[in-house]
Structure 1
Amino acid sequence: MKFERGEFIKAISEVELWDVIIIGGGATGLGIAVDAASRGYTTLLVEQADFAKGTSSRSTKLVHGGVRYLAQGDIGLVYEALQERGLLFKNAPHLVKEQEFIIPCFGLKSKYMYLIGLKIYDLLAGNRGFKHSAFLKVDKVHTAIPGLKTKGLLGGVRYSDGQFNDARLAINLAQTSAEKGGVLLNYIKVTGLLKTGNKVSGIKAIDTETNKDYTLKGKIVINATGVFVDDILQMDVPATKPIVRPSQGVHLVLDQSFLNGASALMIPKTEDGRVLFAVPWYGSLLLGTTDTPLDNHSLEPVALEKEIDFILNTATKYLTKKPTRADVLSVFAGLRPLAAPGKDTNTTKEISRSHKLIVSASGLITITGGKWTTYRKMAEDVVDKAIEVGGLSAVKCISKNISIHGAATGLMGDPLAVYGSDAQEIRKLTAADPNLKEIVLDGHATIKAEVVWAVRNEMARTIEDVLARRLRILFLDARAAILMAPTVAYIMALELGYNKDWETRQVTQFTTLANQYLLEPYYPDVLSNSKKIAI
C-alpha cells in the first residue's frame, strides 16, 4: 500500500476487523507494526501526534549495548542489545554507522578497569564488523579529540558503537510496515477501548485533523505508548496503578568545534554518577544526557535549568573550549518510559531498563521499558504474545532478515545519504522541477525537494513534522529552523492545498515551539521574507 494518509484513512473505513491494532507510533509500536505485517497479519497502527514525536526522536542517537549496563553486571541485557545492534547495522546501513568513542583515563585503575570491561563488551558483540577496543596513548587521544583537556591524562580507551538517526529510522520503519501491508496513521488519538464482555475488542479514536470519530475492531490491541502506557491502561481499568516512572534525559547541541574531532567522548562516571556523552552528529556536537525522575509526562518535555547547568559544568571540566549558554544551538528533552518497581523510588538507578510485557485480564497487551537498540526484539516478543492471546494463526518472526525501507550502501558523502535508496527519487523531483534544487536557507544544505518529498512520501503534516523529525533541523539548530519555517510552510501549503492563513498559523505555532529548544528567545520577523520563498 502507498505510504499516504488518504489511502490509509480509506483503509480504516473499509476493514471490519483487524488482526492487530497497535496504539503508539514510537520505536516500539513501529517495530511491532513491521513484525506483525511481515507475518501476514492485518495490522493497524495509530499515533496521537506524529511518528516518533516523543521519546523516540529524542535519544542520544546511539545504537549500543550499553557500556554502563555492563558495569552494573547486566550481561544479558548487554548481550541482547549488541546482537540487535549488529542486525540494525546490517538492515539499515543508510542510517546506522560505526562511531568511535574514547574514554579518557586519569588513573591506572580506570585504565585497566575500562579496558577489561570493554574487552568483555567486544566478546559479547562477536564478529559484527565493529573495531575492537584498545588503549591509546595521550598523543593518540589528543589527535582524535583535540578539544579534550590533557592535564593529568594517562591516555584513553577506544571502543566502537553504533550511531543512527532515530526519527529517520522511525519513518523508515513505518514505510517498511506499509510495504508489508500495514496501515499506519499519525494524528489519530485513541479516546477509549471497545469491549466485548470483559475483553478488549478494539479502540475508539478521533482524527485530530478532521475531528472525525472512528470505531475500530481488532482481535488484539497492543499498548505501546511509552510514557503514556498508564493512560491506556486506565481506559481499561480506571483504578490501575501506574506501571511507568518517566525519567527525563536532556541534550544540548553545540558546534562540533568544541570537540574538534571525529571521535566521540564518553565520561563513564561524573560527579553524581551519571554518564556523559559528547558525540559528533551531522556536523554538530551532542552533549548529554541527564537522568531525572519525573512524576508527570508530556509530548513536549522541557529541560530543567539544573539539567542544563549540569551538562555545561561537566563538559567544562573536560573540554579546552568552555561551552556557555550562548553557544547552545538547541536543547531538547526526552522522557524514558522506564518500568517502575512496586515500591516508591526517586532514583532511576532502581528502575529497570529492560522491557516488560504485561497482559491484562481484558487481553490488552502492554509493552514498557526497553530502548531503541532492542526495538526489534521487543516487537518479536510482543507479536509472539499477541498470537497466543489473540488466537492468531501462528507464523514465525522474520524481522531479523528484513531490510528496512531505504536500505542502501555506498552513499558516503552524498548530501542525501540519509534517504538511502530514496535519494534517487528525490533527485527525480529536482530533475522535473529545477527550482526544487534551491536550498531552503543560506548556510544549510537542505533543499526544497526534501520538503516536497516529506509531504508526498513521508506523511509530514505540519512544519514541525518536517523540521523536527524528517529533516532534524530543530534538533540541530533551532534558530535556523525558525528561519526556515516560512519557506517550509509555503511549500507544504502548495502540496496540501492549504491557504495563507494556514501558513501563518503554522509559522506562528512552530516559532513558539522552537523557542522551547532555545535558551534565549528568538522571534525574527520571518514572515516578511515570504516574497522570497516562491518555488
Structure 2
Amino acid sequence: MEFSSPASQLSAARRLSNFSELRESPTTWDLVVIGGGVTGAGTALDAASRGMSVLLVEAHDLAFGTSRWSSKLAHGGLRYLSTGHAGVALRSAAERGILMERTAPHLTRALSQVVPLLDSLSLAQRTLPGLGFLAGDMLRRASGTSSETLPRPRFLRPAEVQRLCPTVETKGLRGGLLNVDGQLVDDARLVTALARTAAGYGATVLTYARASAATGESVELRDELDPGAEPVTVAARAVVNATGVWAGELQSDIRVRPSRGTHVVVRSEKLGNPEGALTVPVPGSTSRYCFVLPQELGRCFIGLTDVDQPGEIPDVPDAPEDDVQWVLDVVNRGLGTKLTMDDVAGAYAGLRPLISMEGDGDDTSDLSRDHAILTSENGLITVTGGKLTEYRLMAEETVDKVIERIGGGPGRFHECATKNLPLVGAPGNPAFAKVSGADLIGYPASMVRRFGRETPTVVRSATCDRPLDNVAEGIDITRAEFEFAIRSEGVATVADLLDRRFRLGLIPDDRAAAEPAANELLILAGIEPK
C-alpha cells in the first residue's frame, strides 16, 4: 500500500462526501474502528498500511477524549518499573524510542527531568530516584534508543538545578538528579497525524459519526452534525471498539475503571520560564511524583492526581478544586516561590481507562497500566487500558487479532510496518522526501515543531490575508496554521480548532483572544462557525 499525500488531507467537504458514499454505495469493510483517540487512530493506520480497507469513526472530533488530556509525555515507564510492572516499563521504553527516532521525531523532544535533593525529603525520596534513573537508562539501552536522543542520567550541582528550574526551593538544596525522558509537542497533534497518515494509506476517517450499536460484523452510525438524518449501517469483516473509558458502552461485559488525572496550567513566567521538569515526590510515596512540565505557548502543566472517577463517565471531565489544591500543595514542597490558586490559569482532567478485575482494591494507583484485547460473544473486538506511549504496540496486537478473525490468507495483507512508518510531517515520509531540515530555516520555530516537514506546505497553501501574523497578540500560532488545520486536518467546529488542534482552550483567556481569527478563517473555508 502506497502513501498518498492528497489522500491525507481531511476536510469538512471530504467528511460530507464520505458520509454520502456510505449511504449511497454500501460496501463491506475489512475493518471498522470505533474511536478516534490515539489507540483507534493507531489501529486504523496499522490496518490500512497492511492493505486493509478501513473505516475509522469517532462520535466527536479526533482526540476528543482521553487522548488530549495526558501529561504530553512519551515516557519510558519508570514508575511501572518501581511498582513491579517491568513488562510495561520495557515496552514503554521501546515504544518511546520508536516515536522519537522513527515515526514522529518532529512531534517529540527530549525533556530534562529534575529531582531536587532537598533536606526536607526523606532519605528514600532522595536516593531511590537515582537508582530508578539508572534502571531507566538500562531500559533505554535495552530498547536500542540512542544516548544522543536521550542522554544518560547524571548528578546536578545546585546552580544547575536552579538554571533548569529557576523557582526551585533553595533552602537545603544539595543538588539534583537529572533524567532525560521524552515529551510530545502535543498529544492531540499526534492523534491528528496518525489519522491523517492512515487516510494517506487509504483509510476513510469520519468524525462526528456516533456508533450507536455495534457487533463484530456491523456498526450503526449517526451523523452528529445532521441530527435529522437517518442512521446508516455499515458492514464489516471485523469491528474494533477503541473507545477507551467508554468501552463498556458498546461491550457490556468489559469493566473499565476510570482513574482521574488532574493537571494545573500555569503561565511559564510564574515559574521563571523553566527548561527542566521539576519532579517532586508525593508525601509518603517513593513511586509517585508531581511534575512541572514546560510546554509550548508559554505554559507549564503541573500534575497529576490518580484517583477513582465514580459514576457516569462524562465526555469532558471536570478538574475539581480539591484536585487542583492537592497538586499545588505537593509541588510547592519543591518550590521556593509558592504557587496559589491565583496563579492557576487553567486546569484539565483526563480519565485513564484502567482494566479492573475481581478483587482489585480501592486505590486506582495500584491498578495495572497494562492493556487488554478482548472479544465478545458477538465478535466485537475491544482494546482498552494501556498507556499513550504504547499506542503503536496496542494497535499492532489488535490488528493481529483482527487478521486471526477474518483470515489473512497467503499474501492477502502485509506484515505490520508501523515500527518504521513515518507520520505526516516526519522525516522519511514519502510526501516530504524532498524537504530537508535546511528548507525549514526561516519559518517560525513553533510552526516547525507542530508541522515538521509539512511546514512549507502550511505556508504555501494559505489563502488568507497576513498568513504569518499571529492569530492573536502574544499567541505563537499563525493564521496560516489555523487555515491549514481547517482545510487539511478535519476541523468542523470552532472547538475542534481552538481546543484540540492548538489547545488554546486550556487557558480561557487565550481561547477568547483567538476566537475572532478562528471564526474568520472558518468562514473563509465555507464553514459556518459553531
| Fold-level similarity (TM above 0.5) | yes
Match of 1:139 in 2: 159
- The counterpart of 2:81, out of the listed 67, 70, 80, is 70
- The counterpart of 2:513, out of the listed 483, 496, 499, is 483
Gaps of 5+ in 1: 195-199, 235-239, 507-535
Tell me whether 129-138 or 223-232 shows the greater mean CA deviation.
129-138
CA RMSD after TM alignment: 1.9
Task: Report the AA paired with residue 55 of structure 2.
Answer: L
Taking the aligned partners of 1:116 and 1:347, their CA distance within structure 2 comes to: 26
For residues 190-238 of structure 1, what are the alpha-carbon distances to aligned partners after superposition, in whole Å with 9 as ceiling and x for unaligned? 11125xxxxx31100101112332110000010100010000103xxxx
Match of 2:237 in 1: 219
Partners of 1:258 and 1:319 within 8 A in 2: no
Match of 2:261 in 1: 249
| Residue 86 (str. 1) matches residue 97 (str. 2) | yes
For residues 322-350 of structure 1, what are the alpha-carbon distances to aligned partners after superposition, in whole Å with 9 as ceiling and x for unaligned? 21222212111111111111236321133
- The counterpart of 2:301, out of the listed 280, 286, 296, is 286
- The counterpart of 2:320, out of the listed 292, 304, 317, is 304
Taking the aligned partners of 2:461 and 2:414, their CA distance within structure 1 comes to: 40
| Residue 454 (str. 1) matches residue 485 (str. 2) | yes
Match of 1:396 in 2: 415
Deviation at 1:109, TM superposition (A): 4.5
Deviation at 1:89, TM superposition (A): 0.4
Taking the aligned partners of 2:461 and 2:417, their CA distance within structure 1 comes to: 34
Taking the aligned partners of 2:527 and 2:191, their CA distance within structure 1 comes to: 26
Gaps of 5+ in 2: 1-6, 428-435
Match of 1:387 in 2: 403
Match of 1:267 in 2: 280
Partners of 1:429 and 1:436 within 8 A in 2: no
Partners of 2:77 and 2:90 within 8 A in 1: no
Match of 1:101 in 2: 113
1:16-415 equivalence runs, <5 A: 16-90=27-101, 91-106=103-118, 109-126=124-141, 127-128=145-146, 129-164=149-184, 165-193=186-214, 200-211=216-227, 212=229, 213-234=231-252, 240=253, 242-260=254-272, 261-271=274-284, 274-282=288-296, 283-295=298-310, 296-343=312-359, 345-393=361-409, 395-408=414-427, 410=437, 414-415=445-446
Q: For the structure 1 residues 497 and 290, does the alpha-carbon distance in structure 2 shift closer, same or farther, using more than 3 Å as the test?
A: closer
The 4+ residue runs of structure 1 with deviation greater than 6 A are: none
Tell me: higher relative CO, structure 1 or 2? Use CA pairs within 8 A at least 6 residues apart. Answer: 2
Deviation at 1:382, TM superposition (A): 0.3
Partners of 1:63 and 1:373 within 8 A in 2: yes
Taking the aligned partners of 2:358 and 2:484, their CA distance within structure 1 comes to: 47
2:386 aligns to what SS in structure 1? coil
Taking the aligned partners of 1:75 and 1:339, their CA distance within structure 2 comes to: 18
Partners of 2:210 and 2:222 within 8 A in 1: yes
Deviation at 1:3, TM superposition (A): 2.5
1:69 aligns to what SS in structure 2? helix
1:4-19 equivalence runs, <5 A: 4=11, 5-13=15-23, 14-19=25-30
Match of 1:467 in 2: 498
Task: Report the AA paired with residue 488 of structure 1.
Answer: A
For residues 438-460 of structure 1, what are the alpha-carbon distances to aligned partners after superposition, in whole Å with 9 as ceiling and x for unaligned? 32211212222222111110011
Task: Report the AA paired with residue 264 of structure 1.
Answer: A
1:415 aligns to what SS in structure 2? helix
Task: Report the AA paired with residue 489 of structure 2.
Answer: E
Match of 1:495 in 2: 525
Tell me whether 434-443 or 461-470 shows the greater mean CA deviation.
434-443
Taking the aligned partners of 2:109 and 2:152, their CA distance within structure 1 comes to: 15
Deviation at 1:492, TM superposition (A): 0.9
- The counterpart of 2:10, out of the listed 3, 12, 15, is 3
Tell me whether 331-340 or 137-146 shows the greater mean CA deviation.
137-146
Match of 2:430 in 1: none
Taking the aligned partners of 1:483 and 1:142, their CA distance within structure 2 comes to: 33
2:357 aligns to what SS in structure 1? coil
Partners of 1:33 and 1:44 within 8 A in 2: yes
Taking the aligned partners of 1:268 and 1:380, their CA distance within structure 2 comes to: 35
1:229 aligns to what SS in structure 2? helix
Taking the aligned partners of 2:151 and 2:175, their CA distance within structure 1 comes to: 18
For residues 492-529 of structure 1, what are the alpha-carbon distances to aligned partners after superposition, in whole Å with 9 as ceiling and x for unaligned? 1331343xxxx4xx3xxxxxxxxxxxxxxxxxxxxxxx
Q: For the structure 1 residues 433 and 26, does the alpha-carbon distance in structure 2 shift closer, same or farther, using more than 3 Å as the test?
A: closer
Deviation at 1:144, TM superposition (A): 2.1
Taking the aligned partners of 1:133 and 1:207, their CA distance within structure 2 comes to: 51
1:157 aligns to what SS in structure 2? strand
Taking the aligned partners of 1:344 and 1:80, their CA distance within structure 2 comes to: 24
Taking the aligned partners of 2:260 and 2:396, their CA distance within structure 1 comes to: 27
For residues 254-278 of structure 1, what are the alpha-carbon distances to aligned partners after superposition, in whole Å with 9 as ceiling and x for unaligned? 1113432201111243346742010
Taking the aligned partners of 2:474 and 2:18, their CA distance within structure 1 comes to: 37
Task: Report the AA paired with residue 155 of structure 2.
Answer: F
For residues 108-142 of structure 1, what are the alpha-carbon distances to aligned partners after superposition, in whole Å with 9 as ceiling and x for unaligned? 54444222221111011114331111112223212
Taking the aligned partners of 1:141 and 1:491, their CA distance within structure 2 comes to: 44
1:251 aligns to what SS in structure 2? strand
Taking the aligned partners of 1:169 and 1:113, their CA distance within structure 2 comes to: 33
Partners of 1:50 and 1:465 within 8 A in 2: yes
Partners of 1:19 and 1:392 within 8 A in 2: no
Taking the aligned partners of 2:126 and 2:294, their CA distance within structure 1 comes to: 24
